[in-house]
Amino acid sequence: MKTAFYSTRPFERTSFPAANTAHGHALEFFAEILTPATAALARGAPCACLGVADHAGREALAALRDAGVRLIALRSAGFNHVDLDAATALGLTVARVPAYSPYAVAEHALALLMTLNRKTHRAYNRIREQNFSLEGLMGFDLHEKTVGVIGTGQIGEAFIRIMLGMGCRVLASDPFENPRCVELGVRYVPTAELWPACDVIALHCPLTPQTRHLVNQAALGAIKPGAILINTSRGAVVDTLAVIAALKSGRLGGLAIDVYEEEGDLFYRDLSGEVLQDDVFVRLMTFPNVLITGHQGFFTREAVAAIAETTLANVSGFELGTIPPANLVTTGHVVSSAPRE
């Protein structure tokens, strides 16, 4: 089936054709982000394939439908960027990739934590300058420390297993207890109990109205002084201004993020020759105890290959009427409406 890809990143021009040898779809790659104006690029393609940067509002969806699109194939788990009511009203099917590699993100969270704690990024630069001083590089043993995990789904569970392997105690918060985590000895507590008890707090929940700014001024006022916060979930789970205040006061001992509230204007492009306009982000970059990566938690060979395979299998499934229910977001009526980003 002819499929028009919006906001295509360079690696996707390799991973999708590789997976497509088993499917034989006609893939058309566009760098353009989906807007009502760029929807016409999909003319003649029954499928539009969207990334998280593509905001599929009512107008853009209507323009896609007018161009002949019937399937929106998301190459992400989240679908907050799609107006599902509009898609349903327009009779568009929306499919997603509910899971690819939880290990990719959990292992990236570990990398962030280890780097921030043991300051290997600073050591790397120092050694290249022939500065062998250890001043300022002291970390702490993770062994026997308490780690708080918010959200114990696929990624949260994978991260918990890693932390338990390092000899940590784990407290968790999630409206739904994961029985496998309970079996591992994880204790579920309300966030009010989790904040002050943890040396490390890792966020692995989706962005929903309930989790937006979950880590706010009140939460940061309750954390153990010097605790480290790791966020690989979604930027807006954290109130960035409150976090900056907590870093300035020293209450928050360190911050490592793979996601940022306003990342849409920054991440996934080379802005090295530009003047950054986001003063909040620039302030974050000045802290010695802040580590930022540009939404690369998912970026492993295995995860990228799995995203391409499942997305194209959804396109094939649409032709045959066999898209797995877990991958279907809408099919003329809304079948999955849990808000997440």
Catalytic residue among 81, 96, 108, 234: 234
Q: Is residue 57 involved in binding ligand NAI (CB under 6 A)?
A: no
Q: Residue 129: phi, psi to the nearest 5?
A: -95, 10
Beta carbon of residue 205, minimum distance to ligand NAI (angstroms, whole number): 4
Q: Is residue 340 involved in binding ligand NAI (CB under 6 A)?
A: yes
Q: In this structure, is the dihedral angle defined by the CA atoms of residues 85, 87, 89 and 93, taken in order, positive or negative?
A: negative
Site for ligand NAI in 295-324 (CB under 6 A): 295, 297-298
Which member of 20, 154, 310, 311 binds ligand NAI (CB under 6 A)?
154
144 DSSP assignment: T
Q: Is residue 151 involved in binding ligand NAI (CB under 6 A)?
A: yes
Q: Which residues contact 127 (CB under 8 A, 6 or more apart)?
A: none
Q: Is residue 81 involved in binding ligand NAI (CB under 6 A)?
A: no
49 class by beta-carbon count within 10 Å (0-12 exposed, 13-18 middle, 19+ buried): buried
Beta carbon of residue 239, minimum distance to ligand NAI (angstroms, whole number): 15
Q: Is residue 131 involved in binding ligand NAI (CB under 6 A)?
A: no
User: Binding residues for ligand NAI, how many (CB under 6 A)?
Assistant: 31
* Whether residue 121 lies in the annotated active site: no
User: Of all helices (H) and strands (E), which one includes residue 186?
Assistant: none
Q: Which residue has the tokens 């996707």?
A: 12
Closest CA to 34 of 47, 51, 46: 51
Beta carbon of residue 199, minimum distance to ligand NAI (angstroms, whole number): 19
Beta carbon of residue 304, minimum distance to ligand NAI (angstroms, whole number): 11
* Whether residue 295 lies in the annotated active site: yes
| Residue 226, SS3 per DSSP | coil
Q: Is residue 232 involved in binding ligand NAI (CB under 6 A)?
A: yes
- CB nearer to ligand NAI: give 28 or 174: 174
Catalytic residue among 75, 261, 295, 341: 295
Q: Is residue 153 involved in binding ligand NAI (CB under 6 A)?
A: yes
Interhelix angle 120-128/102-118, nearest 10 degrees: 60
Task: Tell me the residue number closest to ligand NAI, measured at CB.
Answer: 153
Q: Which residues contact 141 (CB under 8 A, 6 or more apart)?
A: none
Which member of 38, 115, 152, 314 binds ligand NAI (CB under 6 A)?
152
CA distances from 187 to 180, 183, 184, 226, 334 (A): 12, 10, 9, 22, 35
- CB nearer to ligand NAI: give 208 or 316: 208
- CB nearer to ligand NAI: give 179 or 321: 179
Q: Contact 236/261 with Cβ under 8 angstroms?
A: yes
Pairing mode, if any, of strands 93-95 and 328-331?
Answer: antiparallel
Site for ligand NAI in 171-230 (CB under 6 A): 173-176, 204-208, 210-211
Catalytic residue among 12, 157, 261, 263: 263
Beta carbon of residue 192, minimum distance to ligand NAI (angstroms, whole number): 13
Alpha-helical (H) ranges within 129-253 are 154-165, 179-183, 191-197, 217-222, 240-249
* Whether residue 126 lies in the annotated active site: no
Q: How far is residue 122's CA from residue 288's CA, in Å, rounded to a whole number? A: 9
- CB nearer to ligand NAI: give 268 or 319: 268
Q: Which stretch binds ligand NAI (CB under 6 A): 2-10, 34-42, 112-120, 170-178?
A: 170-178
The residues pairing with 171 across neighbouring beta strands, listed in sequence order, are 148, 187
Q: Give residues in contact with ligand NAI (CB under 6 A).
A: 77-78, 102, 105, 150-156, 173-176, 204-208, 210-211, 232-234, 258-259, 295, 297-298, 340
Catalytic residue numbers read: 234, 263, 295
